[in-house]
Each structure stands twice: as C-alpha cells, then as structure tokens.
Amino acid sequence: MHDILTQPIEGDGRPMRFAENHDMSRAAAKWGLGGSKVAHTVVMTSRGYAMMYGGGEVGFAPDANVQWSQSSPIIWDYTCPLFEYFPKLINIRKQYLSSDLDQYWIANDNSAVYSSLAVNAGNRLITVANFSGAATTVNLTLTLPELGTISSLTDLLTNQAIPYAGGGSLPLTLDGYGTVILLIQ
C-alpha cells in the first residue's frame, strides 16, 4: 500500500486519493464501518488531494435487493459513529496537512497494521491504522531521521497524550479497525 501512496508523479502533479466514489460500492458496504473508517483515515493523511465522496459518512450497507442505479431515500434519523469521525479527519487534514506533504513508511511488526509519517509545513504526524477486526498491539520503529526529535506525542483523534520513553520503539494497542493520528511535538 505504501508504494502506491508514495508513487512519484511527474512534474508538479498531485494524486487524488479516495476510498470510494460513485462508480464503486461504498466503503462501508465493502469493508464494514470499521474498514471504511480505517481506509478513510489513511486517505486523509496521505500525500495528494484527499477526496471524500459525499454520503460516505452515512456508512450503511445498501439493501441487496436495490440495484446500484436506484436511489435510496435518506434515513434522517440514522446514526452512525462515522458522522462524528469524518469531521475530525477533515479538520486534522485542514489544520496540519496539505496535498504536497512528504510521506514515509514507518516499520512495524504487524502485517495488518499500516503506519506512516506525514511531514508538512513543520507538522509531523504518524498515522497508524489496524486493517484487522481484531485488537492488536503493534511496535512502531521510530528511527527515521525525518521524525526529528520527539518530545511528546498526542493522538489528534482523542486529544490524549501517548507516552513515549524514547529508544526508537513505540508500542501501541489498537482496537479492531482502530486508528491513531499522532502529532509529534
């Protein structure tokens, strides 16, 4: 995945990143709510123009009896955890990142977990995304020179400080389909 997200573009081009669009199944229908959340987190913290298809925040799977060409009415009283999650992602993107960020892969010891560093205009963010439905503990290898000095880590999704003792390794426990976006200070 990281090779795709960091593939060079000729000239000053920027890639468009998205987890779903009008020509494909909704992310929630394809991967469930958890998978949709993880996919959108990676998209919103990656290099390029992050696109969020209108309605993705609704997050419900379509009725199997309804064809793709048929409209379904909006269920106005439907509630979904993605309603609260998506605005957080958008605000993090607006406040800390832009389309021309530098992105680096951060090594970890779990093949179901994607971790990367985004560097942009003095901001350094680590995204960690568990693509598995099972809770897991992952150890990140924080030895990239681009990380710089790490005085503190704050999860921007929860506004909680994440303890880091130094030494180049950061253990994190993630829920199934869990994500963190760590601001390095």
Give the model's pLDDT for residue 43.
85
In this structure, what token pair is assigned to residue 168?
A: 């180049």
| Pairing relationship of beta strands 102-105 and 49-50 according to DSSP bridges | unpaired
pLDDT averaged over the chain? 79
Query: pLDDT (tens digit, 9 = 90+) per residue, 125-150?
Result: 999 999 999 999 999 999 999 999 99
Q: How far apart are CA 29 and CA 60, in angstroms?
A: 7
Task: Between 51 and 109, name the one with better pLDDT.
Answer: 109
pLDDT band (50, 70, 90) for residue 175: very high
Query: pLDDT (tens digit, 9 = 90+) per residue, 50-84?
Result: 666 655 545 555 554 545 455 555 555 656 677 77
Give the model's pLDDT for residue 31.
66
pLDDT band (50, 70, 90) for residue 11: low
In this structure, what token pair is assigned to residue 37?
A: 């959340």
Give the model's pLDDT for residue 24.
54
Tell me the domains of the chain and their CATH numbers. 13-96 (no CATH), 102-184 (2.60.40.1180)
Q: Give the residue from 168, 160, 112 showing the smallest Cα distance to 138.
A: 112
Q: Give the residue from 66, 2, 48, 57 showing the smallest Cα distance to 27.
A: 57
